[in-house]
A and B are shown apart, each in its own frame.
Chain A
Amino acid sequence: MSAASPVVSVDSLALAFGDRLLWEGLSFDLGPGELLAVLGPNGTGKTSLVRILLGLLEPTAGRVEIEGCPPREKCGSVGYIPQQHVFDRDLPLRGRDLVRLGLDGHRWGFGRLDGEEHDRLEETLAQVGAAAYADAPIGRLSGGEQQRLRVAQALVSDPVLLLADEPLLSLDLAHQRIMIELLDARRRGAGTPVVFVTHDVNPVLQSVDRVLYLAPGRWAIGSPDEVLTSETLSGLYRTEVDVLRVRGRVVVVGTPDDQHVHHVEDGH
């Protein structure tokens, strides 16, 4: 994977808001098909990193290149999947229209699809299993159905990179699994790297190649086995943190805010 030239290249990136430094010297490459999970507590700049990759936020220092040019220049299209947000129940928009906006929403004029794009729209709807409800009003679909359409919206532009910011939030386990399978299929099939921001690594643990852990003022990157250890996280937080593996799940105990970082499933 790393033999091929990187799709994303992040070099000595720093971000500060006023005099609050979130991170500095952040460097990593993403090769074709890699899945990078971005973890860490609230307020450590996970979403800001996504915004930098989208070209919506300028870093304080450092450089980002996607397909060899800055994000703002959009050398290749970047698919973005946000956390589920509630659409107005009566919004006059079908699932199909939402997905189509991912294809032609940025083009001036009325936007006419050619034959090839039309086929791609239908194929993508079928691919995420949304064909059955593609004509229903978006505001009346369930959260899981809406998120599948979000994946389709991101995929339909044939992206060179996928950015997902807490896409599993408020989804049940079955729909979480479907979402991950869809992203997995894309990165394996088309070699599209995925940056996956999440507060809970467990749902994606089987798929993750590397983990970027952002802690207040510090960061670590590496394979899950390298980063998700008591040693690494204790170093990041500068306090004693225990990382336990329980039935194939990672549980982090002892962070200043461990309620939020990796919550333990309720019940059994």
Chain B
Amino acid sequence: MFVELLGQHFVHTALLAGAVVAVVSGAIGVFVVTRGASFAVHAISELGFTGAAGALVVGIDPVLGMIGGSLLVGLVLGLLSLRGRERDSAIGAVLAFGLGIGVLFLSLYQGYATEATNLLFGSIVGVSDAQLRALAIVAAIVAVGIAVVYRPLLFSSVDPEIAAARGVPLRGLSVAMFLLLALTTAEAIQVVGVLLVLTLVITPAAAAQLLTVRPTSALVLSIAIAVASTEGGILLSLLQPGPTSFFISALSFAAYAAARIVRARRVSGRAPARPRLRARRRSSAPPAARQAQS
């Protein structure tokens, strides 16, 4: 049965589509996690849903609506370049309203509810050849985009003050990153759905960054975890009854949990080798307290 399924065209299409989307999701995820912008991914994805629901109402391709919605939010977030708490609350406010509009659109939509369900939870196994081609083209655009901005984007993400001093255009890069993220999110929605985009865009990158401190290794590892989770999830869903998105999210979470364990062991193993750091950290913390005692 399983072997028979592996020979099926739709399975090949699903595996290819999954791989294409996973590569760009894993790559952009590294920058999202480094900049602490996980919540923005959620916002872009849910407003992509609003765009798709709006497209359904007016009778155009929901994927176009989704890309439009994601890009619009990505552009706004990129231009605002907000940081920290302000960004979180602004995103929360916009996200909630956008989703409200999405709910309104859905209530207006007279067609089949499956379209909406597919958007929310993904429909990788139903990808057509034409969809696969579209996914591949968008993924290629994102991949080229990341390759072009990689170095200055890394600089502006980890060390913005010096990057600005060296003439790196911070705002332009912020916009570029959020637009690439919006395209990636629109891709990932088609595989795992609106509600599970984080499982491809955040979880693999977070796991990778627990395992390595080298920026390039983190990028490669994040892509590898995203691809393995996606392909593994699709294969598991052929073997076992259950939604593909569940298996994908379970595998990427397993990778994250394993990374945490590996990291915890490594840190406790390393501690005696570098006592210098610990000692200094402790002594640098409470000088006031020590003065008060003496």
Known contacts A105-B154, A106-B168; is A92 also within 8 Å of B161 by CB? Answer: no
Q: Which residue from B147, B165, B214, B274 sits with its C-beta under 8 Å from A97?
A: B214
Is there an interface contact between A98 and B159, defined as CB atoms closer than 8 Å? yes
A238 within 8 A of B: no
**Contacting pair B165 A107 (CB below 8 A):** no
Main secondary structure of the interface of B (DSSP, over half): helix
Q: Is B85 an interface residue (CB 8 A)?
A: no
A108-B151, A108-B152 known; A80 and B162 CB under 8 Å? yes
Stretch at the interface among A116-124, A136-144, A217-225: A136-144
Chain A hits for B147, CB < 8 A: 109-110
Given contacts A80-B165, A101-B158, contact A107 B152 (CB under 8 A): yes
Q: Is A90 an interface residue (CB 8 A)?
A: yes
**Which secondary structure dominates where chain A touches chain B?**
loop
Flag if A91 contacts B34 (CB, 8 Å): yes
B215 within 8 A of A: yes
Interface residue count on the B side (C-beta < 8 Å)? 31
Complex partner residue of B215 from A55, A82, A85, A97, CB under 8 angstroms: A97
Nearest-CB distance from B280 to chain A (Å)?
5
In Å, the complex CA distance between A72 and B162 comes to 15
Tell which of B148, B154, B155, B281 has the most Cβ of chain A within 10 Å.
B155
A92 to B213 alpha-carbon distance, docked (Å): 4
Write the A138-181 contact mask toward B (1 if CB under 8 angstroms, else 0).
00111100000000010000000000000000000000000000
Contact of A105 with B161 at beta-carbon distance under 8 Å, contacts A74-B167, A91-B34, A110-B147 already known: no
Contact between B151 and A105, CB atoms less than 8 A apart: yes
> In this complex, which of B34, B152, B164 has the most chain A Cβ atoms within 10 angstroms of its Cβ?
B152
> Which 10 interchain pairs have the tightest Cβ spacing?
A105-B155, A111-B151, A80-B165, A92-B209, A137-B213, A106-B166, A54-B165, A101-B155, A92-B218, A142-B280
